[in-house]
Structure 1
Amino acid sequence: MSFIPKLFVLATALALLTACGSKGGESNPQNMADDGKDCAKTDNGKGGNKKPTPPTNPNQVAINPAQEKAAGIQLGTFERQNMSTEVQANGSVEVPPGNRVSLTAIMGGYVQTVTVLPGEHVRTGETVATLRSPEYLTLQQNYLQSKAKVGFLAEDLERQRILDVEDVGAKRKLQMARADYATEQAALRATAAQLRLLGISVAHLDATGQIVSSVPLTTPIAGYVKAVNINPGQYVGPQDVLVEVLNHDDLHLELKVFEKDVAQVHPGQKILFQIKGAGRPDEVLTARVFLVGQAFDDNARTVRVHAHLEPERTDLLPGQFIAARIQTAGQRVRTLPEAALIQAGELSYIFQRVGSDSGRVVFRRLKVRAGQPQHGDVPITVLDPLPDTTGLVRQGAYFLNAELTKGAGED
């Protein structure tokens, strides 16, 4: 009879081992009691490696008021603004061709003096250099000789007229006198015009007969000297640019717009631009399109667009490089500050305040589509219906996103 109770105890121990599982692979009768205790602890939830329960909503995060204050979270709603679509373009500050002068020598000669420096302001008609050459002396000599010959031929023509009236002289001599007089007058006028081009006063030469050895090089416009390419003693020809002068009274922008964007650009559109490397990167200036080119540059496939400054300015320098945004269209859209968005490729995230739970503030992350930022604000397109009055995080979104993804990083 004693065999039956022993068999019953052994069957009970095997059942416990089967239910809980053995740690060593084979059952050990001496450790059955300990295994039973471990099994009991596991059943009570007080031991073992239990996997954490995932959150009910992976796009929700809850923070306490102290965290909210420390992160500087600011709440608000959408704002409706007129946001323009923009075309990006680069270019430079320029002056019209009429405000840019390249001074050259009408006739070749040697530089005698240079009276200006680059950056210096000059007035209209001011002398910037003087030139000398034997050819200038020869030209004045030819003028005086031609003038004297014209006087002689005029007297001879008058004599031939008198003889013709008295029917004494031959008609042929009168005709020859007229031809010679007209020919010499033409030569005199041409020589006088050449002297005026050189800057030599014909009236002074007529009055005094004094031949000058040097001629002045003067500027036809007022402005600033851009470049001086000569020095005393240098020989220069008509093809050489000696001095360049720019007038800053009519500065404008010359932009290069790519072929894909040029159809959106029209006269009258507003331009926002900044000067590159001018020590004032935050200053935004304005201009307005007044001319769109009608041909492409062969190499870059761009079209030149010209714009007037608004208001006109004279403190910019021709040749300064600029980065411009041409505002091509506009519409009233929802906007949020840049600090309210988390960039994530084509889509972005914003946070909505959904309520509180056990003293903690609960926020939900929402997917949106963001446009091009303008002046710190970003146009927003919501993917799900959302009223304008929805409570949103306008500042501190990065802190909430870090709290939301912190657990995911640990997993």
Structure 2
Amino acid sequence: MNKTIYSMLIAVILSFSLTSCGDKKADTDSHNAEVKTGTRKEEHQEEAMLSAKQFEALQMKVDTITYRQVSGYVEANGTLEVPPQNEAAITAVIGANVVAIEVIEGDKVNKGQIVAYLSHPNIIKMQTDYLNAYSNSNFLKKGYERQQKLYDAGVGSGANFQKAEAEYQASKAMVNGMAAQLRLLNINATSVRNGNISQRIGLKSPIEGFVQLIAIKTGQYVNPQTELFEIVDTHHVHADLMVFEKDVHKVSKGQKITFNVQSMPDQELTAEIYSVSKTFEENPKAVHVHAEIENKTGNLIPGMYITGRIQVEKLETKALPESAITKDGNRFYVFTVEKENEDWSFKPLEVILGQKDGDWIAVQFPEEIAPNTQFAYNNAYYLIAEMKKGDAEHSH
């Protein structure tokens, strides 16, 4: 082999070596660039994995989908009310001054219990006027009886007898009328006839209940028929809900209601409709629905604002416990469950929520699911947090 051929062979070998090295370096640089820019990602499935120990510690509940009778609802707002016969306003039947108040707001009172005392010269004058009228009536009675004897014996004038009778009957009517006025003031007429003149009169509660309002103070002059006290019998407090026109046809007597009082949002109360109004209120256009409360507490006061749901129908539908559902953004998810060796795999599945009935919520799936699909019945919030934590660790 001459020198020229040997030199050419060496040049070809060197050229091939340099090209190979360059290709390897380019492959390495390309790989490094992919790592740096993150364009090369490993595919993975979103899921939360729990070990057998975690599964037991969380007391996970797993089961297939349940079909339940879930109620349809009509939502309605209203207030707590009592029937008119269980509310009372105490007024003064005569102008007088308040000399004593015997109760405070919130006190329980019995029927006939005195809540305040009033005093005024007019009260004393009414009693003395009655006493004078009674004495005059007795005098006229004796004159009438004398004229009657003379008339019956034929020696008395008929005109005199008739005049005496008329005067006596008029006086008797006056005495009875004045006695009735005294009874309105809670003054005993017999006691007055015996010479006992009351300096003050007591205002009595006409019903049993609780003092809701006191509109007076000691020493104040009150006019006749002015409302001084409000008494409410809360034993008969009921739910008064307003149902809009579009839903009226769904509501009827006997249906159940669940509602919350605004001041006690965590306490759910139940009631049963006993009356549906037949006339519309104009603003808003709705009817009153009255319901008897089944689990009353001592804190229910007329006028409290309530929000309720009237159970109007029963539908059989797929349902899961509220603890099986979690929200991520604007979507709701449940978790399907599969056991992988000793571990448990939980994969999110989007659902559409329906009616809520107690702790259960009706659900619909965008796609058909196998009947034997297992679902996590609790700890959905924890599972989605665990899944996101796993995603974050994988991305690093």
Pick the TM interval, shorter chain: 0.7 to 0.9
Q: Which whole-Å CA distance do the structure 2 matches of 1:379 and 1:102 have between them?
A: 49
**Would the aligned equivalents of 2:98 and 2:117 in 1 still touch at CA under 8 Å?**
yes
Q: What displacement does 1:105 show?
A: 0.6
Give the partner amino acid of 1:104: T
Report the number of matched residues: 383
- Match of 2:105, SS? coil
Aligned mate of 1:154, from 131, 141, 163: 141
Aligned mate of 2:294, from 297, 310, 322: 310
- Whether 1:253 and 2:249 are equivalent positions in the alignment is no
- Whether 1:107 and 2:90 are equivalent positions in the alignment is no
Q: Which whole-Å CA distance do the structure 1 matches of 2:110 and 2:343 have between them?
A: 75
Q: Which whole-Å CA distance do the structure 2 matches of 1:376 and 1:77 have between them?
A: 17
Could you say which residue in structure 2 is the equivalent of 1:23? none
Could you say which residue in structure 2 is the equivalent of 1:121? 108
Q: What displacement does 1:236 show?
A: 0.4
**Would the aligned equivalents of 2:209 and 2:232 in 1 still touch at CA under 8 Å?**
yes
CA distances 1:186-228 after superposition (whole Å, capped 9, x unpaired): 222211111100111012122x133323211112223332232
Structure 1 spans left out of the alignment, 5+ residues: 17-30
Could you say which residue in structure 1 is the equivalent of 2:211? 225
- Whether 1:340 and 2:324 are equivalent positions in the alignment is yes
Aligned mate of 2:85, from 91, 95, 98: 98
Give the partner amino acid of 2:34: N
Give the partner amino acid of 2:375: L
Q: Which whole-Å CA distance do the structure 1 matches of 2:256 and 2:159 have between them?
A: 75
Q: Which whole-Å CA distance do the structure 1 matches of 2:67 and 2:219 have between them?
A: 70
Give the partner amino acid of 1:247: D
Could you say which residue in structure 2 is the equivalent of 1:274? 260
Could you say which residue in structure 1 is the equivalent of 2:372? 389
Normalised by the length of structure 1, the TM-score is: 0.75
Normalised by the length of structure 2, the TM-score is: 0.77
Pick closer, same or farther for the CA change 1:246–1:389 going to 2, 3 Å.
Answer: same
Give the partner amino acid of 1:395: N
- Match of 1:117, SS? coil
- Match of 2:267, SS? coil
Q: Which whole-Å CA distance do the structure 2 matches of 1:46 and 1:120 have between them?
A: 85
Q: What displacement does 1:336 show?
A: 1.0
Q: Which whole-Å CA distance do the structure 2 matches of 1:385 and 1:49 have between them?
A: 40
Q: Which whole-Å CA distance do the structure 1 matches of 2:124 and 2:181 have between them?
A: 12
**Would the aligned equivalents of 1:78 and 1:336 in 2 still touch at CA under 8 Å?**
yes
Structure 2 spans left out of the alignment, 5+ residues: none
Pick closer, same or farther for the CA change 1:222–1:398 going to 2, 3 Å.
Answer: closer
Q: What displacement does 1:310 show?
A: 1.7
Q: Which whole-Å CA distance do the structure 2 matches of 1:373 and 1:296 have between them?
A: 29
**Would the aligned equivalents of 1:275 and 1:322 in 2 still touch at CA under 8 Å?**
yes
User: What RMSD over aligned residues (CA atoms) do the two structures have, in Å?
Assistant: 4.1
**Would the aligned equivalents of 1:347 and 1:370 in 2 still touch at CA under 8 Å?**
no
Pick closer, same or farther for the CA change 1:67–1:262 going to 2, 3 Å.
Answer: farther
Listed as ranges, the matches of 1:3-402 within 5 Å are 36-37=23-24, 49=34, 51-52=39-40, 61=47, 63=49, 65=51, 69=55, 72=58, 74-165=61-152, 170-206=157-193, 208-278=194-264, 281-311=265-295, 313-314=297-298, 316-343=300-327, 348-353=332-337, 365-398=348-381
Q: Which whole-Å CA distance do the structure 1 matches of 2:140 and 2:321 have between them?
A: 90
Pick closer, same or farther for the CA change 1:244–1:40 going to 2, 3 Å.
Answer: closer
Could you say which residue in structure 2 is the equivalent of 1:28? none
| Greater shift in the superposed pair: 84-93 or 163-172 | 163-172
Pick closer, same or farther for the CA change 1:346–1:63 going to 2, 3 Å.
Answer: closer
Q: What displacement does 1:392 show?
A: 2.0
Could you say which residue in structure 2 is the equivalent of 1:24? none
Q: What displacement does 1:36 show?
A: 5.0
Give the partner amino acid of 1:325: R
| Identity percentage of aligned residues | 31
Give the partner amino acid of 1:268: G
Q: Which whole-Å CA distance do the structure 2 matches of 1:331 and 1:343 have between them?
A: 25
